[in-house]
Amino acid sequence: MKAFVVDRYGRKNDVRAGDMPVPALREDDVLIQIHAAGVNPLDSKIRDGEFKLILPYRLPLILGNDLAGVVVRVGSRVRRFKPGDEVYARPHKDRIGTFAEFIAVKEDGVALKPKTLTMEEAASIPLVGLTAWQALVEKAQVKKGQKVLIHAGSGGVGTFAIQLAKHMGATVATTASAANAGLMKQLGADIVIDYKKDDFAAVLKDCDLVLDTQGGKTLERSLRVLKAGGKLIGIAGPPDPEFAKQMGASWFLKTAVRFLSHRIRKAARRHDVSYSFLFMRADGDQLSQIAKLIEAGAIRPVIDRVFPFESTREALVYVETGRAKGKVVIKIR
């Protein structure tokens, strides 16, 4: 099968097109013919080796973290899917590889594709949808009337998280450029802060939750807008000890992670708030819940561009510019 592969970590060692074997099917796997794949900043970070301590992939590695496609075969223990089913998925973190014609995904990471979406639209959802769901529904348990700040509202996670937070009854603030303010309002944002002109920390206060996609200074400044007992959830890092524990990290890695996140955790305690890191996990049941919201019209996909499969490298470069509104997708079939 055709695929886009990383042979060695590092930005200079680019992604190449090549032929790879069709993945072997385990007894609890679903073999999917991929029609479209989402492109995410995570793909470039994996290519550059940023996660090699946490996610020790064997090289050569097929990149890609979400997909939509059709089931072609199922393992002997699979009960929920059959050949011909249209599905979407975020593969488990240790078995990625959606920039390819086929992938084997564990059954519990797969869900039926929302009926109202095209393959390209469906492929744009899994990674950002699960990230927003696990932050807002699972970790923060957002309640009606709460105040939520979502950074970088025009990005892939942002465009989904704004809609989900609004559906949950929150008052939603977001940071975006003035050019994207109209789109942010359409998606449900109540307050749009022009990050080029205004300081969000001077505009907002008493937030119950901040979902940070940026890291660095933005993460630290976000502590100022939270009320006592509020939650800061970061998806750009730094990772925290709870994450290291979930990953089954070595003593050395746990110590390193504790050191990396010490400053932000200490600052959070000073503000009487909590900081946690979220590395989204595969979850087919949550994707089924998300599909219901999409079919009910509560959430819609936001797609910036669709690239042909042979232009996968160009799609990665485009995502790295940080200018995409919503998601970028590769059309494979």
pLDDT by residue (tens digit) across 44-99? 999 999 888 888 899 999 999 999 999 999 999 999 999 999 999 999 999 999 99
Strand order of the sheet with strand 226-234? 191-194, 171-176, 147-150, 207-212, 226-234, 274-277
Burial of 167 (0-12, 13-18, 19+ CB in 10 A): middle
Determine the pLDDT at residue 55: 83
Contact (CB, 8 A) for 38 and 65: yes
The CA dihedral of 86, 84, 286, 148, to the nearest 10 degrees, is: 0
Token output for 77: 């223990």
Q: How confident is the model at residue 137 (pLDDT cuts 50, 70, 90)?
A: very high
Residues 6+ apart with CB under 8 A from 322: 155
Determine the pLDDT at residue 247: 85
300-316 pLDDT, tens digit each: 999 999 999 999 999 99
Q: Which domains does the chain have, with CATH numbers?
A: 2-124+301-331 (3.90.180.10), 128-277 (3.40.50.720)
Q: How far apart are CA 41 and CA 48, in angstroms?
A: 11
Residue 102: strand, helix, or coil: strand
Q: E strands within 258-326?
A: 274-277, 303-308
Q: How confident is the model at residue 237 (pLDDT cuts 50, 70, 90)?
A: confident
Q: E strands within the chain?
A: 2-6, 16-19, 29-39, 61-62, 66-74, 86-89, 102-106, 110-112, 147-150, 171-176, 191-194, 207-212, 226-234, 274-277, 303-308, 327-331
Quickly list H helices, 5-61.
Answer: 41-47
Q: How confident is the model at residue 227 (pLDDT cuts 50, 70, 90)?
A: very high
Helix, strand, coil % over all residues of the chain, rounded to 5: 35, 25, 40
Percent of the chain with pLDDT over 90: 92
Token output for 285: 């049941």
Residue 12 has pLDDT above 80, yes or no: no
176-226 pLDDT, tens digit each: 999 999 999 999 999 999 999 999 999 999 999 999 999 999 999 999 999
Average pLDDT over residues 98-108: 98
Among 130, 227, 202, 209, CA closest to 171: 209
Token output for 281: 């996990």
pTM, two decimal places: 0.97
Residue type, 12: K
Determine the pLDDT at residue 179: 96
Among 40, 22, 76, 17, CA closest to 309: 17
Residue type, 28: D
CA 182 centroid distance within chain? 23
